[in-house]
Chains A and B, each alone.
Chain A
Amino acid sequence: MSIYSEAEAKAILDKVIKLSKADECSANLTGSIDGNVRFALNNVSTSGTVSDCTLGVQVAFGKRVGIATINAFDDAALARVVQRAEELARLAPENEEFMPTLEKQEYKASDTFVQATADVSPEFRAKVASDSIDPCKADKLIAAGFLANSENFFAFANSKGNFGYQKATGLNYTCTVRTEDGRGSGWVARNLADASKFDAGVDIRTAIRKAKDSAEAKALEPGKYTVILEPAASAGLISFMMFGFDARQADEGRSFLTKKGGGTKFGDQVFDQRVSIHSDPWDADVPVMPWDQEGLPREKMAIIDKGKVNYLQYSRYWAKKQKKQVKGQPGNLIMSGGDKSTAELVKGTKKGILVTRTWYIRMVDPQTVLLTGLTRDGTFYIEDGEIKYPIKNFRFNESPVIMLNNVEELGKPERLSGDESPFIMMIPPMKIRDFTFTSLSDAV
């Protein structure tokens, strides 16, 4: 069994807390059922389900901390894991930045569980694969994709009486469609809370269209262009930038939010005033757990408010040292936008480039958050409000800070998650001027 009810989880955690003789003890119990199907070359390549449940116990003697985990839950196993954590704590060096376990907190539940997503079956996944592959085969195209779904729960308790329990589900689908001659490539991604709202047969049409339309690409000179970035094209850059919101790094002088001469840019106008990003665990589109990894309650808060930096992320230790109030770290990023679709943004563009997605994004210079990466799976030239022709992929060298100062227009936000991002996001398509492409790529 890997999904426990609240009562079952609480019973296990209470036993653990009682068993510990340490100064303090906290424990968490997490379980999941993860299913996936992978396909390539129009065939299913791998599929499977993994069930797992793990109990983690952290104890402290003074400032000496020990952590141990186990995946058996009988009384002997519980005693063993507590004993192991206590042994490790006695061997551990003192952690000067140790923070005592949290007092009892109030958590307001968020809507992270959808039964239809928990009910996803191997047959559902097989159908997603065939709904993706069959239309591609019929069109002489080649599909490669991956669907992953998860049902999980998270429960925790500590020796000061704090307790939390909540279940969650999620579904993520990506599919790349290529022409047989390898000259065209399209892509689609869908991240959903509710699997009943997912139809691969509809989404695959986007990837098919982009694969066909992206063949016969022409080369444009690298340089600065007005771009329409679909949400998947800017999400990776924005998500990368969030690492720079760490308060300690900003205070220490090693963040783009450090001020010349000392101090941070908290409260400063760092972005265009149309840029607002907030976090809200109860948001109906992107609900996340109402606590962060340390068990701190999350709250609705502005991270960037009309271009001003409104939030720096404090660890409990750093908040205490700097005499700041600590807040739960955000689990989602919700960027404000307008009502226009990507197609409508294209319509209003005299000359520009439409970017489907960006890929292999890496930090070049943390001082300016200069990032490099490439466009992929559908890059098009726009003239007089129309897509004129596909163009070859570009490498960009651009900072999201500069990008979010060069905003021309924002469209309607869409839900997505990134391969390398810890956030579920709502990101609008955006029209940006002077986006810097530095070289051409021959890759399709």
Chain B
Amino acid sequence: MHRRNFLTIAGYGMGSLLIPLPGRLIAAESLVGMIDVARKKVLADLALEASTTAGASYCDVRIGRYLQQIVITREDKVQNVVNTESTGVGIRVIVNGTWGFAATSDLTEAGVSKAAQQAVEIAKANSKAQTEPVQLAPVKGVGEVSWKTPIQKNAMEVPIKDKVELLMGVNSAAMKAGANFINSMMFLVNEQKYFASTDGSYIDQNVHRLWAPFNVTAIDAKSGKFRTRAGLSSPVGMGYEYLDGKGGIALPGGVTGYDKRYDMIGDAVAAAEQAKQKLKAPSVKPGKYDLVLDPTHMWLTIHESVGHPLELDRVLGYEANFAGTSFATLDKLKDKFKYGSDKVTLFADKTQEGSLGAVGYDDEGVKARRWDLVKDGTLVNYQAIRDQVHIIGEKESHGCCFADSWSSVQFQRMPNVSLAPSKDKLSPAEMIKDVENGIYIVGAGSFSIDQQRYNAQFGGQLFYEIKDGKVGQMLEDVAYQMRTPEFWNACVATCDENDYRSGGSFFDGKGQPSQASAVSHGSSTTRFNGVNVISTARSLG
């Protein structure tokens, strides 16, 4: 089938990395500057007028300019520098209680009017088969407002030369420290989104995100063995200041972690040394272990086993043919389902500064907010948007509606979902003191979970044996398998807020046709008792 463009980056570990590449490619200097807000209001008003005149009872208009810059390197070479831009308008309407949507890249007044009329026609056509009219939770118009990711240094304005120099420095440091290969990259995103609706909102937002991943490979040619270690950075909703080289948090096992600032060169040196150690580390003995999970690892477990199962559209069956449904059915909300132990409070939050999901307003004009999903172990809520909240007896949207482009229909997407830190003082070192037979896991690795989000398996980047309260040797071939409710009920402790850090995904996929979104997950280091660990060591003879 004809698919969305993908950029294939070979060499980024086996399996390559496929990066969705929307939009058209542009010159670097076009990445700064914006469409005039007054012009956007004129076009939005035109669409609102055209759709309501044609019979729409509700209309929202999203005028978007989506920019990306990607710098790709390996060892001492720059492999590619890609700039893309995508600009257009998406118009969503309700006619006869039915949604209609149309989008165009033609931002002339005639083009926008035509798209508005098309959206109305599509809604009218679809309304013939409609069995349940849309119930839209009310939103009070906010007038003309704006919001911007609080960045200190716009990464799009940093010259390509500086980015190339940084990545070349990272690669060179890793090679000097003994890496056989390194692939490093920099992704920058700027979403300039203008939203207007018949509720009386005109919201101009300027959203920035940044990600600088790398992957180091160490090889033992004699045995034919190779091992990789990925960077421990996090994708962030920040500017270029994230890469200022400061920061560094001493973690157990001699590992260095990062929070609001990242030392990419320092991490690359550590990665090269640790990748070499991995070549010699013994395989784990399968069995039950107490796991101490660092936030660089926890984010992915939270994402898969909490974020996805609590999406209300999945729970209801709208994603049944692709991503699947959810074990966390509506009756479990009513019955106060024990999702985890009383140490577990998981919250959704679209307002966390520096996070990937942070916005002022979502893509249907609802102000960003925080709410609990699991409170002291009990399931208390889902993620729901304007046309869903009535199903769970609420009157206001949670504000987690998102579209990955002006040309995509907005739908419910995962907000930042995070594990609240303990209110009692506890550091990772203190947590480990009480563990008799455990494994300390740092970084995200392989992941897989079933279509109802029960059975999951996770790997990691670094694994250390814990014996009688002490961190010991490095282990290899570790993966843990779990059943979601048992796992979260086995959570016995979380560290305090001093250890709270975030990780996240730049390209979380959902829907058909698939849309990508970026989302962060925070936690402090967390302990789970008696988790099933398997060895992934195999021999091909």
Contact = CB atoms under 8 A, between A and B. Distances in A.
Contacts of A95: 77-80
A226 interface: no
Nearest to B71: A93
Interface string B433-460: 0000000000000111111111101010
Given A253-B221, A253-B226, A443-B451, A67 B82 contact: yes
Contacts of A144: 317-321
B222 interface: yes
A366 B13 CA distance: 8
Contacts of A246: 10, 14
A254 B455 contact: no
A52 to B, nearest CB: 9
Nearest to B456: A395
Nearest to A65: B80
B407 A364 contact: no
B321 A40 contact: yes
12 contacts: A46-B409, A69-B24, A144-B321, A252-B180, A254-B181, A261-B222, A359-B451, A364-B536, A367-B227, A370-B536, A397-B534, A443-B453
Contacts of A145: 321
B160 interface: yes
A146 B77 contact: no
Interface string A76-114: 000000001001100111011100000000000000000
B319 A254 contact: no
Contact of A259 (B224, B477, B512): B224
A368 B452 contact: no
A54 interface: yes
Contact of B455 (A97, A363, A441): A441
B2 A34 contact: yes
A362 B446 contact: yes
A262 B226 CA distance: 12
B16 interface: yes
Interface stretch (A156-164, A337-345, A372-380): A372-380
Interface stretch (A14-22, A169-177, A277-285, A427-435): A169-177
Nearest to A417: B1
Contact of A256 (B221, B537, B540): B540
A150 B122 CA distance: 20
B180 to A, nearest CB: 7
Contacts of A142: 317, 320
Given A70-B24, A97-B79, A150-B1, A363 B224 contact: no
A87 B27 contact: yes
B479 interface: yes
Interface in A406-444: 417, 419, 438-444
A442 B24 contact: no
B409 A370 contact: no
A174 B321 contact: yes
A175 B512 CA distance: 12
A304 to B, nearest CB: 15
Interface stretch (B49-57, B322-330, B418-426): B322-330
A374 B448 contact: yes
Given A249-B11, A258-B224, A261-B222, A36 B513 contact: yes
A395 B457 contact: yes
A72 to B, nearest CB: 10
B457 A67 contact: no
B407 A363 contact: no
A182 interface: yes
A358 to B, nearest CB: 10
Interface string B8-31: 001101111000000011111000
Contacts of B79: 95, 97
Given A93-B164, A397-B534, A178 B317 contact: yes
B223 interface: yes
Contacts of B325: 178, 182
B131 to A, nearest CB: 6
